[in-house]
Amino acid sequence: MRFTHETLAQRVILDAGRSLEHLEAQVAHLGASRVMLVAGGSASSYADRAAVLLPVVLRWTEVVQHVPVAVAERARAAAADTGVDVVVCVGGGSAVGVAKAVALTTRLPVIAVPTTYAGSEATPVWGLTEDRRKTTGVDPVVLPTVVVYDSDLTRSLPVDLSVASGLNALAHCVDSMWAPRSNPVNQALALEGARALAQGLPHVVGDPMGTPGRDQCLYGAYLAATAFASAGSGLHHKICHVLGGTFDLPHAPTHAVVLPHVLAFNAPAVPDQARRLAIALGRPAGLAGPDDDAAAAATDALAALRQAVGAPRALRDLGLPLDAIPEVAERVVAAAPATNPRPVTGPAIETLLRAAWEGADPRSQS
Ligand code: NAD
């Protein structure tokens, strides 16, 4: 065994119902006294309560998916004008994205309080969008210094969005198994993340207000994002990146729809990873058998989970026009990692995208 693995420095707290007191303590621990509080509409009442406890000098409510450059520039200018010394963000990946955009140019520390399973809080990846193109980059300055997970804040996330977001997190796990810097350490994180998400999501669907399922999903989402941050973007993320940046499709549902198609495409070429993924997803059947069984066990396990939680199925339902598929495929082929387990060709990606667009059973394409 041989690998090079980097572990990112970050304080991570998971404690249902106590995020406000942790926030207060962590802001004080950083020695900060001028807080920029980034929180969109869904986090506004929590932000009201946080603003009572924290030394907030700027409240930022303009939170837009994929962070348009104009929004980033306005937020940076406001931070500079107000002289803030820490950015606290509360919300999903979009709120974290605004905080990261500010940190990228100001180098201010970020404290993140996530309310979805997107996982941006655990990665040094930033993303900005302009002229239908999403640009991403990696810079350690955008990695939040502290993350405070409080599953009470995720109880208001509607079940369908919770499912989509949980599958977005699961996509981090699955893509990490073959991403360019995939290694035994990030695979271990990915597999434990997949196990936690596969266990937690059905609980969230059955009992959206319950703490155990919500905690499992936050824990799984953190591990998933840590694995992804280390392993890098695989084919799945390249596809969703093009779909999100160019066609402004909703982030989490897009990941949820595309994931089984990429798994069905790649799994036959990586039977060992497929075997371990199947076990993580709770399906030990066929695991001592031939390689085909391992790929089928993994894709069947994901299909069963998706069925149990009522996952979204088709890109056409998310607003992708059918005639966009050739353009998407062309961009995906240009961006796909050379290390993908199977060759990424235009016809193969068009077939995959067409199946995802229709909502076809992905197991029929491999
Ligand atoms: P989001 O942050 O846009 O949230 C989706 C919707 O859910 C919004 O309307 C939001 O207001 C609402 N919401 C969020 N939390 C809620 C809650 N607890 N209760 C009720 N409503 C709630 O979506 P997302 O999927 O969390 O994040 C997507 C964005 O994050 C994309 O721009 C994506 O590119 C980015 N992202 C970046 C990384 C990274 O590493 N840089 C990783 C994952 C996602």
Q: Which atom of ligand 1 is nearest to the CA of 158?
A: 20
Pairing of strands 133-138, 125-130: antiparallel
Specify the pTM: 0.96
Comparing CA positions, the residue from 310, 296, 311, 217 lying closest to residue 263 is 296
Q: If you take atom 28 of ligand 1, which residue's CA is the nearest one?
A: 93
Q: If you take atom 13 of ligand 1, which residue's CA is the nearest one?
A: 42
Q: Is 200 in the pocket of ligand 1 (CB under 6 A)?
A: no
Q: Are 124 and 102 in contact (CB under 8 A)?
A: no
| Domains delineated in the chain | 11-154 (3.40.50.1970), 159-364 (1.20.1090.10)
Q: Which residues pair with 136 in a beta bridge?
A: 127
Helix (H, G, I), strand (E, B), or coil: what is residue 136?
strand
- Ligand 1: centre distance to CA 5 (Å): 28
b/e per residue 61-70 (b: at least 16 CB within 10 A) = eebebbbbee
Q: Is 165 in the pocket of ligand 1 (CB under 6 A)?
A: yes
Q: How big is the chain by its Cα radius of gyration, in Å?
A: 20
Q: What's the token pair of residue 358? A: 């229709």
Comparing CA positions, the residue from 144, 191, 143, 151 lying closest to residue 170 is 191
Q: If you take atom 2 of ligand 1, which residue's CA is the nearest one?
A: 92
Which residues does the chain have with pLDDT short of 70? 284-291, 365-366
Q: How many CA atoms lie within 13 A of 332 on its CB side?
A: 30
Q: Which atom of ligand 1 is nearest to the CA of 228?
A: 40
Which pLDDT belongs to residue 123? 97
Residue 267's Cβ-count burial label (10 Å; 0-12, 13-18, 19+) is: buried
Which pLDDT belongs to residue 247? 86
Q: Is 151 in the pocket of ligand 1 (CB under 6 A)?
A: no
Q: If you take atom 39 of ligand 1, which residue's CA is the nearest one?
A: 120
- Ligand 1: centre distance to CA 192 (Å): 23
Q: Which atom of ligand 1 is nearest to the CA of 122?
A: 40
Distance CA 120, CA 112 (A): 9
Q: Please choose from 90, 94, 152 the residue to mutate so as to test ligand 1's pocket, defined by most ligand atoms within 8 A of CB.
A: 94
**Cα torsion angle, 245, 99, 144, 201, sign:** negative
Q: If you take atom 19 of ligand 1, which residue's CA is the nearest one?
A: 157
Which pLDDT belongs to residue 285? 56
Q: What's the token pair of residue 54? A: 């924290």
Q: If you take atom 40 of ligand 1, which residue's CA is the nearest one?
A: 120
Distance CA 98, CA 83 (A): 17
Q: Is 119 in the pocket of ligand 1 (CB under 6 A)?
A: yes
Which pLDDT belongs to residue 132? 78
Q: Is 118 in the pocket of ligand 1 (CB under 6 A)?
A: yes
Pairing of strands 11-14, 86-91: unpaired
Distance CA 148, CA 311 (A): 27
Give pLDDT tens digits for 206-226.
999 999 999 999 999 999 999
Which pLDDT belongs to residue 287? 60
Three-class SS string for 100-112? HHHHHHHCCCEEE
Which pLDDT belongs to residue 363? 81
Q: Is 66 in the pocket of ligand 1 (CB under 6 A)?
A: yes
Q: Is 283 in the pocket of ligand 1 (CB under 6 A)?
A: no
Strand order in the sheet with 11-14: 11-14, 146-149, 110-114, 86-91, 35-39, 56-60
Comparing CA positions, the residue from 71, 74, 143, 136 lying closest to residue 108 is 143
Q: Please choose from 159, 161, 204, 236 the residue to mutate so as to test ligand 1's pocket, defined by most ligand atoms within 8 A of CB.
A: 161
Q: Please choose from 62, 120, 254 the residue to mutate so as to test ligand 1's pocket, defined by most ligand atoms within 8 A of CB.
A: 120
Which pLDDT belongs to residue 308? 97
- Ligand 1: centre distance to CA 270 (Å): 31
- Ligand 1: centre distance to CA 27 (Å): 23
Give pLDDT tens digits for 337-354.
999 999 999 999 999 999
Q: Are 26 and 11 in contact (CB under 8 A)?
A: yes
